[in-house]
Amino acid sequence: MPDAPSVGVVGATGAVGTVTLELLAARGFDRVRVFASARSAGRQLGPLTVEEATPEALARGDVDVFLFSVGTGASRELVPHAVEGGAVAIDKSAAYRLEPGIPLVVPEVNGGRAVEGGRIVANPNCCTIPLTCVLKPLHDAAGLVRVRVATYQSVSGAGKDGMDELFAQTKAVYTTGDIEAKKFPRRIAFNLIPHIDVFMEDGYTKEEWKMMMETKKILDPAIRLTATCVRVPVFIGHSEAVNIEFADPISADEARNILRNAPGCIVIDKREDGGYATPYEVAGEDATYISRIREDATVENGLAMWVVSDNLRKGAALNAVQIAECLDSRKLISAKKKAA
């Protein structure tokens, strides 16, 4: 990519960081540096050497844009230092998503918002991103009134430790070994856990609250939305069962046609065995897949549908890279010269 900005990936050794590096290489970013915790410093990621993500290193001013794939606490500590050094910070954690004045961006939905505010752009939750890609064109067409969504979230949403725990527990089931639950509150192998993040006073979990608040911020604060978030024994790919009530009439055929033409969306909706998307097929894919679009006869102007996406790609890494591309195309990331 001619005059590509220099990119720093913070949290490069994690599950999302690994996918971020793959996407940056595939999309022409050839000036990349990688950062992680002290215990990973010095490790090789292909030709790249991992640097320790210290405040001093990020504030040095020799990187144009940082993509943060770390926890909320680490983002709150490190992002201000990256901005202090003159970089744009695109953060994938929950640290800044609901902060007033900080844009919360899904490029296919509200890409223009990326240019607002200061030098921090927030990346939404891994289930909010595909949900808003689907809801935005339908909202434009018929006006969303109420949305009910149940998510079925893979263990990779909890990082490498979550994937390792599912693998270890599954192996233990077949070898009659001990099953230990460390990352998740209950056994995840051959089970479902209706609990992601911490519980709040009203009985919702923080994950459910994030989906509700983020969707309102991105689309429309007047939308009523309720969510139930469930962890499932799938390695990669988040799924959502979505039920929508609209202000105006809209048929399943109309919705299907709208979504076929929506950016970042692919409709696979054959009313036959296997005529729908599942997490297994969409792993490694960039699009949001929509299936089982049908009218809900229990409410006026209602539709139900099934939504699936790769949470490590569109749900996290790809969305952040697309934000960087949006900013770069508007010349809001000033490429610095390579350090001698």
| Residues identified as active-site | 126, 238
**Cβ neighbour number for residue 101 with a 10 Å cutoff:** 9
Determine the 3-state secondary structure of 111 from DSSP.
helix
Q: Which helix or strand (DSSP H or E) is residue 40 part of?
A: none
> Token pair of 42, please?
């010095």
- Taken in order 147, 309, 132, 232, the sign of the CA dihedral is positive
- Phi/psi for 228 (5° steps) reads -125, 120
Structure tokens at 17: 């960081």
Q: How far apart are CA 241 and CA 147, in angstroms?
A: 10
Distance, C-alpha 84 to centroid of its chain: 26
Position of tokens 């990936």?
9
- What residue has token string 């500590």? 77
Q: How far apart are CA 314 and CA 289, in angstroms?
A: 11
Q: For the beta carbon of residue 299, count every other beta carbon within 10 angstroms.
A: 15
302, 260 in Cβ contact below 8 A?
no
Q: Count CB neighbours of 40 within 10 A.
A: 18
